[in-house]
Amino acid sequence: MRITRVVVPIIVAIALIIVVIVPAWASSHREAPLISNDPVADNTDVYMFRSPDESDTVTIIANYIPLEEPAGGPNFFKFGDDVLYQVHIYNDRDDKADITYQFRFKTKILNDNTFLYNTGAITSLDDPDFNIRQTYSVTRIKNGKKQVLGTNIPTPPCNVGPSSTPNYEDLAEQAITTLSDDSKVFAGQRDDGFFVDLGAVFDLLTIRKVPGDKGGGVDGVGGFNTHTISLQVPIEELTADGSMPTDPLDPNAVIGVYASASRQRIKVLRDGEVLNAGGFVQISRLGEPLINEVIIPLGAKDEWNASNPKDDQQFIEFYRDPEPARLINALFSIPVPDPPRDDIVAILLQGFSLEPLGIDFSNVGGPKIADLIRLNVAIEPKTPTDAGFSRFGILGNDLAGFPNGRRLQDDVTDIELRALAGATPFTPDFNVAPNNQLGDGVDENDVPFLDSFPYQATPHPGFEHDHHPVQPDP
């Protein structure tokens, strides 16, 4: 099933787009058996959006390490020196990544005769009191050509507390680096910007205030941090023809992305050290949020993580008859569309074209069947202070939002619940209450996002933080 040249009124056309949403609703970030035991390689979220304050660039965010407890010392969280982190970008219709950014980290301990992460207040990234520090390199592979864009780039420390990191925002600002291709990069700890009533959802899909649009949700990710790799890249560096598209129907306007983590094939434990050898094997990947978490069943999750998006045809049966849809029906007696869900398959994995809106995502930015976040860079960005912004993204008639890329503010949990329940014009009999009112009662992040790169909020300090804030009623 492919949607092209849809001749419908504009409002209906806007609503049609929502079925591109991933049919899932919550995230613990620990989605697969093997990767749940390897948090430094666990890719928790991927975001891609046109930068609101630098609109000639695209920001790509790949988060790793789930649910970081801020007070997790003395060995505070860091990237894995033995992990190959990658961001893969597609800008044409073949099944190969056209641009890949690679990140490798290296840890240095200045004084190994102390247990302390820092031996005094850290006031700069080269402060001698900053005892356990990481640097990293960035390599770009573009059209088969490899180029090192930066080496020995510093990461900021974790946000230990007011005595150890008294001016944390300054330290983070010092870690923002411009690469040789004029891209900006930041790698380090940030607040985990995903918001969801984690405890309720995995307690047999509980909704605290049915049908879910009444507030009162408990943000289960609130108060936790994550480690991010964030890139801000000029749009002309990402498009197939090196242009800055202004027409959303331009085939060069859409790019696709997924992030991954890989380890070497051989791991040997010997005398208190770890030795690694052999080629790298992908052990984690993520494009659209939550696919491997609740759509792919336990028996296929590790295989999904190790596979390439071009091979996602092998998992198509799980999209055609998604288990979460059956659970919504069984637990809440809410009627949902019968399988096969060819609408979800067609738009979620193939892209879409809606010419009345002047938007085309159809198969651009990657292969025909593939789990990728797709972004039309010709659509002007919107922030929460702009007219027409909606946390529901395209579902709220905001063409700059999810599933046109994914912004930090987009409420993917509520959007996906409603789409999974069939609240779309493709299944008009289900586009009614309560299907189109479903949600988790958590509508925004526990702390405000930043207005500039790297956009994710300052990480919570270990000295003082709160978990699980309850959101007020609307």
Q: Percentage of the chain with pLDDT > 70?
A: 90
What values do phi and psi take at 238, rounded to 5? -110, -25
Is 80 exceeded by the pLDDT of residue 422?
yes
Residue 223 CA to residue 218 CA, distance in Å, equals 12
Mean pLDDT of 344-370: 65
Q: Which of 172-186, 283-297, 346-360 has the highest mean pLDDT?
A: 172-186
Q: Residue 336's pLDDT is what? A: 92
Within a domain: 471: no
Helix pair 412-420, 323-332: axis angle to 10 deg: 80
Lowest mean pLDDT among 23-27, 39-43, 317-321: 23-27
Is 80 exceeded by the pLDDT of residue 236?
yes
Q: Residue 359's pLDDT is what? A: 57
Within a domain: 467: no
Within a domain: 121: yes
Please state the domain count of the chain.
Answer: 1
- C-alpha distances in angstroms, 431 versus 335, 337, 339, 457? 11, 10, 17, 35
Within a domain: 389: yes
55: which 2 tokens? 């609109």
Q: Residue 42's pLDDT is what? A: 95
Within a domain: 204: yes
Within a domain: 347: yes
The CA-to-CA distance between both ends of the chain, in Å, stands at 38
Q: What is the pLDDT of residues 201-227, one digit of tens each?
A: 878 778 898 888 888 999 999 999 999
Q: Residue 364's pLDDT is what? A: 53
What is the maximum alpha-carbon separation in the chain?
71
Residue 151 CA to residue 103 CA, distance in Å, equals 10
Q: Residue 361's pLDDT is what? A: 58
Q: Residue 347's pLDDT is what? A: 66
Say if pTM beats, i.e. exceeds, 0.85.
yes
Q: What is the pLDDT of residues 136-147, one digit of tens each?
A: 999 999 989 999
Is 70 exceeded by the pLDDT of residue 163?
yes
Q: Residue 348's pLDDT is what? A: 73
* Structural Rg of the chain based on CA atoms: 22
Is 50 exceeded by the pLDDT of residue 17?
no
Q: Residue 238's pLDDT is what? A: 97
Q: Residue 14's pLDDT is what? A: 31
Mean pLDDT of 297-309: 94
User: Mean of the per-residue pLDDT values for the chain?
Assistant: 88
Q: What is the pLDDT of residues 43-62, one digit of tens each?
A: 999 999 999 999 999 999 99
Q: Which of 4-8, 323-327, 460-464 has the highest mean pLDDT?
A: 460-464
Residue 152 CA to residue 154 CA, distance in Å, equals 6
Is 90 exceeded by the pLDDT of residue 149?
yes
Q: Residue 162's pLDDT is what? A: 97
Q: Which residue segment(s) compose the domain that 270 sits in?
A: 10-437
Within a domain: 97: yes
Give 294's contacts (C-beta < 8 A, 6+ positions apart): 24, 25, 26, 323, 324
User: Are the C-beta atoms of 323 and 24 separated by less than 8 Å?
Assistant: no
Give the confidence band of 16 by pLDDT, cuts at 50, 70, 90. Answer: very low
Is 60 exceeded by the pLDDT of residue 27?
no
DSSP symbol at 314: G
Q: Quick one: 4 exposed, middle or buried, by C-beta within 10 A (0-12, 13-18, 19+)?
A: exposed
Residue 420 CA to residue 325 CA, distance in Å, equals 6
Within a domain: 235: yes
145 pairs with which residues across the strands? 142
User: Are the C-beta atoms of 338 and 326 separated by less than 8 Å?
Assistant: no
